[in-house]
Amino acid sequence: MFHGTLHHSDAPDWSRQRIFGLWKTPLVTLSEARGPEGIRIYAIGDIHGCRPLLDKLLQKIEEDIARSKAGDWRIIFLGDYVDRGPDTRGVVDRLITLQAADPRYILLAGNHDVEFLAFLDQPSIDGVFVNSGGNATARSYGVKLNRSKLKTQADLEQVHRKLVAAVPAAHVHFLKGLQYAVSFGDYFFCHAGVRPGTSLERQSPDDLLWMRGPFLDSLMPLEKVVVHGHTISAKPEERINRIGIDTGAYRTGRLTGLVIDSDHKAFLSTKP
């Protein structure tokens, strides 16, 4: 399989290469991709503690389901429920309730979710949680975390003890149970992206949670079109091999959802 980044000017005729059997697995471009027969798919980008925006987008989705008279549906959350926004606790509570009520709500892990668990297990002053929005998560559980005041290991351990005591066991269980990826029809859903040149079934958890450049810069078609969050853009990004729907909810007020129904695609947002 081809390795590296392609530019529009030198991209080969992928369909022709498929015809001559150069690929063991058929490749799909965005224009060809179809959702699963009879199932309307919704994907929701990075929530980051923004409970009111989550509630608003879910209401829009419920209205869309009713309006479209969808026979069946799935709502896929792409991870990063914690940090940065003001109400991580409220977001996790809502997601736990949704998941318990209906298995058609599918929850994927984001890198911030995994790093929150890592801090609860083994606190580090240099980790993502302390340095990238974990103070907002701690505050939502009633614990103060100020990076500038963590002068000693004892300071860190004190905050850690308080947070471990404050986070409900159900929240930890929920975060530990998150999937890394899921696939429906011609679409593959994950938090960050995939490594081009590696089959989807062999992607590493680290790449699914953290991938940026090699994936974002690639114009190489994949086995499925990847729907992802993780990398903020002003509006949803549609490329030959991917759709990015992280529109920076915690700082823009815009939480974005993607709708897939057969060959139809649309976007829902908490802002016009």
Residue 164: which H helix or E strand, with range? helix 153-166
Q: Are 94 and 59 in contact (CB under 8 A)?
A: no
User: What's the pLDDT score for residue 17?
Assistant: 36
118 burial level (CB within 10 Å; 0-12, 13-18, 19+): middle
Residues listed for the chain: 272
| Whole-prediction pTM | 0.91
* Per-residue pLDDT at 64 exceeds 80: yes
Distance CA 114, CA 117 (A): 5
User: What's the pLDDT score for residue 126?
Assistant: 95
Handedness of CA 7, 214, 223, 184 (dihedral sign): negative
Q: Are 224 and 33 in contact (CB under 8 A)?
A: yes
**What does the pLDDT look like over 142-199, one tens digit per residue?**
999 999 999 999 999 999 999 999 999 999 999 999 999 999 999 999 999 999 999 9
**What does the pLDDT look like over 16-52, one tens digit per residue?**
333 333 445 789 999 999 999 999 999 999 999 999 9
The closest of 177, 174, 180, 176 to 200, measured between CA atoms, is 180
Helix (H, G, I), strand (E, B) or coil at 145: coil
* Cβ atoms within 10 Å of 252's Cβ, excluding its own: 15
